[in-house]
Structure 1
Amino acid sequence: MTIRQLPDTLINQIAAGEVVERPASVVKELVENALDAGARRVDIDLEEGGVRLIRVRDDGKGIGADELTLAVSRHATSKIASLDDLEGVATLGFRGEALPSIASVSRFVVSSRRVEAEHGATLEIDGGRVGEVTPRAHPQGTTIEVRDLFFNVPARRKFLKAERTELGHIEDWLRQLALARPDVELRVSHNGKASRRWKGDGDLLSDVRLHEALGEEFARNAMRVDHAAAGLRLHGWIAQPAYNRASADQQYLYVNGRAIRDRSVSHAVKQAYADVLFHGRQPAYVLFLELDPRRVDVNVHPAKHEVRFRDARLIHDFVYRTLHEALAETRAGNAPLAPGNGNAGIDGDRWQQGAMAAGGSAYRWNAPQAPLGLQVADARNLYAALYGQPGAVPADGDAPVAASGMPFAAAAFAGPSSAAPPFTHQPMPDDAPGGMPPLGYAIAQLHGIYILAENADGLVVVDMHAAHERIGYERLKHAHDGEGLRTQPLLVPATLAVSEREADVAERESATLDALGFEVTRSGPQSLTLRSVPALLAHGDVEALLRDVLADLREHGQSRRVAEARDELLATMACHGAVRANRRLGPAEMNALLRDMEATERSGQCNHGRPTWTRFNLAEMDRWFLRGR
């Protein structure tokens, strides 16, 4: 076939296939242009889910009459002028493709006036055919009308969904924008009826938009995070683990104010929650990552949904460590660090020292894996090795605890088992030292399962097994971390057949593998020799674990597989070592557990993500019984 130059209209329609997926894509491009123009108020009028009409009006700087034609030309923009500008983009738009692409697949009208102009001007484009610029009365700012989207590309129009579905996509995107720009007023109407108004009187430290966008339940369970280190800042809100979702519908990530999707950062967030969520549940968060624009490339996706970080490994570790430390403060009895209640974060110098260890190759992250086939007997052996207490973990998973001298503060649980009556009352201490602690003091044991305690606000109910399980788990982790990672040489070195890429990774990341407990050398173009493994995991499928670690290092530059496999075993130990149901506890035992909960990281949830406690304040109970009415 003969090579030919494509006509401009066809070029723009091809570009529209990348930029304009549906009406929500049009709204996104037009509203982002309004924000780049300094708008403080944006009105969005829609008809038939945006298919029939999308009208966006703003009070920004406007476009001069002499620039209207240029504004709808391809690769014409006021936002960049050089490669240096492109490498440090700070605006939402910059390519100069959106307007001509949208105009090529719709009936398009743009009207605008600059503040210094005597009158405005308008330009009409019908399916890519550009008309003449004519004078028109118009307030300062810009109005763009997009009618009959895809009227001249029927194949694309057939892919659009029902009106309600398309409107839902627009509303989802506007909610995402509203969270990031509480300083801008957004007014939305659909089919001539006002449907939504986002007031523009807030800032990122306000919780007004949080309530409006995600609801009271999220706002009530949100913890504020604000931490800066290594030229990075992460701030926003993360939901307490008890508030979790079946899907990722409440996960919002912004990089320098731009809403993006990033698998690795999302993965780091999920890993920070790994110890406190049910398997398969999703965390909820609104997070803003700020860094030098030159450290992130925003020009990697046609719709600008994705970015590429120049320090990807550092970004991963920064996000994981920041949230991991913040979630560690979810101790039972702590007031949630909700909007307005303060900040959660970690010391920047301490984080940097940890992140820079081993040449900056921090490796604490990745996805949970299937069990490694480790047995409870292995757990007992580790327990004995750590504490010199053989048999501290019972062989029978249903047997009661019988381990005097367990390394938990609530060691009084280690008495002989006896069935508890349904309700056992315990008197309140007459002289509680130091005032009332957050979880108060135990007053009863209910059905051998729950501890009832009275605190300053009302009633606290604790699931004693779940709470004791978390306490034991955290203590085992700290003890093992203090011991350091031990390796065990293999009696006979193992030879692994791998791909050439995997062998390259193993050779390049030998120091990281050594830090993870693997002594690995390359023995051929597609083979590795494994000589030692992490001692704690020696009875599992370490070859499969090594392959998973290599896959992580190849894709992300980091791996947390070993830590997760270790945590899985320690969690099993803690579960078997926790106090069982129907064990009668005395006041000292119950109060010891409450004090341990207050001092233990993540004690608001058990190892499986279940809550360990709840509370009922007096005002709530008064409402139950209609007191004061």
Structure 2
Amino acid sequence: MIIKQLSETLINQIAAGEVIERPASAAKELIENAIDAGATRIEVATAAGGKTLLRVIDNGCGMTPDDLELSIRRHCTSKLSETLFDIRSLGFRGEALPSIGSVAKLTITSRPHGATSGSEIAVVGGKVGAVRPAPANPGTTVEVRDLFFATPARLKFLKTDKAETGAITEIVKRMAIAFPAIRFVLSGTDRSTLEFPATGDDHLARIAQVLGADFRDNAIELDAEREGVALTGYAGLPTFNRGNSAHQYAFVNGRPVQDKQILSAIRGAYAETVPHGRYPVAVLSLKLDPALVDVNVHPAKSDVRFRDTQLVRGLIVGAIRQSLQRDGDRAATTGAGGMLRAFRPGFSPQPAANWSANASPSRPLGFSAPAVSSYPHFPAPQSGSSMRQHGFAEAAQSAFASLAEPAARAEQAPRMTTEMETPASYPLGAARAQVHANYIVAQTSDGLVIVDQHAAHERLVFEQMRKALTGRRLPSQGLLIPEIIDLPEEDCDRLMAHAEGLEQLGLAIERFGPGAVAVRETPAMLGEMDAVTLVKDLADEIAEWDTSERLSAKLEHVAATMACHGSVRSGRQLRVEEMNALLRQMEQTPGSGQCNHGRPTYVELKLSDIERLFGRS
């Protein structure tokens, strides 16, 4: 075997296979060069998804003839000194232009600001032409035609023109979010023109341009710092979610990245608040010393490696959770929008999405009067903040158990009447009715709120149990006769491995032979319940996520399952006192805007929206 030096053209083609995977990769590299050149306006034009044409025009600093000649040589760059530990530009490898030129027909035309004329250089399949004078505006124009014509095998791996066009659009969106002071224009024969005007320092306005105007009303600002790492950006409300993770954007020192650790941290921060199969919307920007992050992990520069990964993860999870607890207990505005669309003439929802399963053209939608329930009631709320601060915790605690009691016992309770509450006193208003024994309708000072009683109560119970994981043991009630539950031996082993944590939540179990467990105590707040079904569900839950995760993280899954079993069921009629107590407790409970499964617990409709339905505004 004889070792020989590869030709420059072949070396560039090998590099192109790593740097330029598809037209979107070329677009990313060219846009990064334009930003590094100080451009305030960048225009991108494509044809056939960038396969036949990709043109990037900027008004940056431009290049002299000598710079043009060096720009298409490998590892020639103006952005890097002698070290990789202080990278402050988007590009730094000096591989993009020579890689593109080796597999496509590349033309670069540039003119520095202050120069009287421009220059041009062409590279076709790795063959470099001479620099020659050319008319040009200040800045640089890079035109790429017939991408991968020199390596036709790569063309077979490209997707459809539409898919490639979408990938380039996504690149432009990420760059636009990262640099709101730059105007971006995306056009071409294969697309309608997309423009993002510069918004200066108004980052949220730029994000709204990209993600839609709804994001502005459903986002919570983030601003946190820990040990020299700063996090800013916006986190969407849990109920403002999407069907994939494409609306999660992360930036490290201004560089758009798609880092698995960051995405995992976002997923962890929204645990128990977003439904399975749904994804939160978030825009995160991390700033830290360049020496603490390695951006030279992959030629595409989309992956990074942090020196202290746990520090970054903890910062993201903590900042998002604190922000959600502080400002996240509100319904997404898109819920009201969906309701308004449902009321418009001609709307025909699927049967499963009907407002009421019992509604029909001949049967009008019915409301139950507030005081029609024979179930035990919450203590009647009093006006004034002292009652809200001191009394509702105990009231809700006892109410959790009382609502789970059988109806026969509840019939002994005397019927109570209370004076109508004033809606202006509370964020979630005052209860006015219960719809189909499942939805509480409350009047607020400027509209109305519709609450899913089961989902809301489930969240309240879950938060009580979550507190027990770090505080005192939850009260339990002993069973007169222990409940013996037959289970596969492996399920019994899993349950007993977590017996200590379950006991902290008020569920006391012990082994009863090789294939059974005995339940001796159940959480008092759950009242009378089906212990057999609960324990079997817990066994299934533990089997699904029984990994090396921390016990506390696992027990939150257990708490969520137990909360679902002990919550106010759909179909239970509640008195006005009970409904109001539920609303007051929701106002004081973090995360009450969505249930443990991530579904919204209430929808808010402003008075202006209602008036619009009737043509009054």
- Residue 463 of structure 1: how far off its partner (Å): 1.3
What one-letter code is carried by the residue in structure 2 that aligns with 1:229? R
Within 5 A, what are the aligned runs for 1:328-347?
328-329=325-326, 332-333=329-330
SS of residue in 2 equivalent to 1:189: strand
Q: Is the 8 A contact 2:378 2:578 kept in 1?
A: no
> How many Å apart are 1:449 and its aligned residue?
1.3
The Cα shift of 1:269 comes to: 1.0
- The 3-state SS of whatever aligns with 2:193 is strand
Change (3 A) 1:319 1:217: same
- The equivalent of 2:611 in structure 1 is 622
State the secondary structure of the residue aligned to 1:74.
coil
Tell me by how many angstroms 1:402 deviates: 11
Deviations 1:124-146 (A, max 9, x none): 11111111111222222111111
Which residue of 452, 467, 471 corresponds with 2:460? 471
Q: Residue 437 of structure 1 is aligned with which of 426, 440, 445?
A: 426
1:546–1:621: structure 2 CA closer, same or farther, 3 Å change rule? Answer: closer
* Cα distance in 2 between the residues matched to 1:546 and 1:159: 37
Q: Secondary structure at the match of 2:42?
A: strand
Equivalent position of 1:548 in the other structure: 547
Structure 1 residues 545, 412: CA separation in 2 closer, same or farther (over 3 Å shift)? closer
Q: Which amino acid is the alignment partner of residue 24 of structure 1?
A: A
Structure 2 partner of 1:272: 269
Q: State the AA in 2 paired with 1:621.
A: I
Q: How many Å apart are 1:311 and its aligned residue?
A: 0.9
Shift of the alpha carbon at 1:605?
0.8
**1:259 match:** 256
For 1:409, the equivalent position in structure 2 comes to 395
Report the 3-state secondary structure (helix = DSSP H, G, I; strand = E; otherwise coil) of the residue aligned with 1:66.
Answer: helix
Give percent identity, aligned residues only. 44
2:52 maps to 1:87:
no
Distance in 1 separating the partners of 2:194 and 2:563 = 50
1:47 maps to what in 2? 47
Shift, 1:171, TM fit: 0.8
Q: Give the drift of 1:25.
A: 1.0
How many angstroms apart in 1 are the aligned matches of 2:191 and 2:309? Answer: 46
The Cα of 1:432 is off from its aligned counterpart by: 4.3
Cα distance between partner residues in 1 of 2:207 and 2:545: 43
The 1:134–1:315 alpha-carbon spacing in structure 2 relative to 1, beyond 3 Å, is: same
Task: Output one character per residue of 1:585-611: Cα deviation in whole Å (capped at 9) or x when no partner.
Answer: 223222111110000010001111121
Which residue in 2 is equivalent to 1:455? Answer: 444
Seen in structure 2, the aligned counterparts of structure 1 residues 6 and 472 have a Cα distance that, compared at 3 Å, is: same
* Kept after mapping to 2: 8 A contact 1:428/1:441: no
* Segment drifting more, 562-571 vs 123-132: 562-571
For residues 234 and 534 of structure 1, what CA distance do their matches in structure 2 show? 39
The one-letter amino acid of 2:64's match is G
C-alpha spacing 1:543/1:330, structure 2 compared with 1 (3 Å): closer
Quote the residue 2:512 is aligned against.
none
Aligned to 1:579: 568
Within-5 A mapping of 1:212-361: 212-329=209-326, 332-333=329-330
Q: Which amino acid aligns with 1:21?
A: E
> 5+ residue gaps in structure 2?
334-374, 380-390, 411-415, 475-495, 504-508, 510-537
Instruction: Give the match for residue 482 of structure 1.
Output: 471
CA RMSD of aligned residues (A): 3.2
Is the contact made by 1:334 and 1:438 (CA closer than 8 Å) also made in structure 2?
no
Give the residue type in structure 1 aligned to 2:220: M
1:136 aligns with 2:134: yes
The Cα of 1:192 is off from its aligned counterpart by: 8.8
Conservation of the 8 A alpha-carbon contact between 2:293 and 2:305: yes
SS in 1 for 2:211: helix
**Code of the aligned partner of 1:610:** R
Question: Paired residue for 1:118, among 112, 116, 119?
Answer: 116
Contact 1:418 1:584 in 2 (8 A): no
Change (3 A) 1:576 1:330: farther
Checking the alignment, whether the CA contact within 8 Å between 2:418 and 2:577 is kept in structure 1 is no
Counterpart of 2:6 in structure 1 is 6
Amino acid at match of 2:395: A
Q: Deviations over 1:519-572 (max 9, x none)?
A: xxxxxxxxxxxx9977115978899899832xxxxxxxxx4x412321122223
- Could you report, residue by residue, the CA deviation over 1:149-194 in whole angstroms, capped at 9, with x for unpaired residues? 1111111122222222211111111111111111111122212986
1:215 aligned partner, one-letter code? G
- Normalised by the length of structure 2, the TM-score is 0.75
Cross-structure match for 1:394: none
Partner of 1:358: none
Q: Contact between 1:44 and 1:55, CA under 8 Å: does it hold in 2? A: yes
| C-alpha deviation, 1:417, in angstroms | 5.0
SS of the residue corresponding to residue 103 of structure 2 reads: coil
In structure 1, distance between residues paired with 2:330 and 2:304: 40
Q: 1:152: which partner in 2?
A: 150
Alignment of 1:584-623 (within 5 A): 584-623=573-612
Correspondence for 1:564 among 547, 553, 557 = 553
Q: Are 2:18 and 1:21 equivalent residues in the alignment?
A: no
Q: What are the Cα deviations for residues 309-339 of structure 1, in whole angstroms up to 9, with x where unaligned?
A: 0011111111111112222235645899xxx
Aligned partners of 2:377, 2:124: CA distance in 1, in Å? 82
**In structure 2, what is the equivalent of residue 494 of structure 1?**
none
- State the SS of the aligned residue for 1:156: helix
- Equivalent residue in structure 1 for 2:167, among 154, 166, 169: 169
Question: In the superposition, relative to structure 1, how do residues 403 and 597 fare at CA in structure 2: closer, same or farther (>3 Å)?
Answer: closer
Query: Given that residues 123 and 131 in structure 1 are in contact (C-alpha distance below 8 angstroms), is that contact kept between their aligned partners in structure 2?
Result: yes
Give the alignment of 1:169-188 within 5 angstroms. 169-188=167-186
Q: 1:581 and 1:130, CA in 2 relative to 1: closer, same or farther beyond 3 A? A: closer
- SS state of the match for residue 261, structure 2? helix
CA distance in 1 between partners of 2:422 and 2:608 (Å): 24
What CA distance in whole angstroms lies between the structure 1 residues aligned with 2:283 and 2:10? 40
| In structure 2, C-alpha distance between the alignment counterparts of 1:9 and 1:428, rounded to whole Å | 86
Structure 1 residues 148 and 438 mapped into 2: Cα distance closer, same or farther (>3 Å)?
same
Describe the shift of the 1:565–1:543 C-alpha distance in structure 2 as closer, same or farther (beyond 3 A): closer
Deviates more, 1:8-17 or 1:468-477: 468-477
User: Is the 2:220–2:327 contact (alpha carbons within 8 Å) kept by the matching residues of 1?
Assistant: no
- Secondary structure of 1:322 counterpart: helix
| Alignment partners' CA distance in 1, 2:205 and 2:445 | 29
CA distance in 1, matches of 2:418, 2:59: 64
The alpha-carbon distance between structure 1 residues 543 and 242, as it changes in their structure 2 partners (threshold 3 A), is closer
After superposition, what is the alpha-carbon deviation per residue over 1:466-494, rounded to whole angstroms, capped at 9, x for unaligned? 11111111112113311399xxxxxxxxx
TM-score between both structures, scaled by the size of structure 1: 0.74
Offset, 1:18 = 0.4
Q: CA, structure 1 residues 254+324, in 2 after alignment: closer, same or farther (shift >3 Å)?
A: same
Aligned-partner Cα distance in 2 for 1:543–1:284: 29
Tell me, yes or no, if the aligned pair for 2:186 and 2:194 is still in contact at 8 Å: yes
406-415 or 113-122: bigger deviation: 406-415
Q: How far, CA to CA, are the matches of 1:311 and 1:243 in structure 2? A: 31
Contact 2:586 2:592 in 1 (8 A): yes
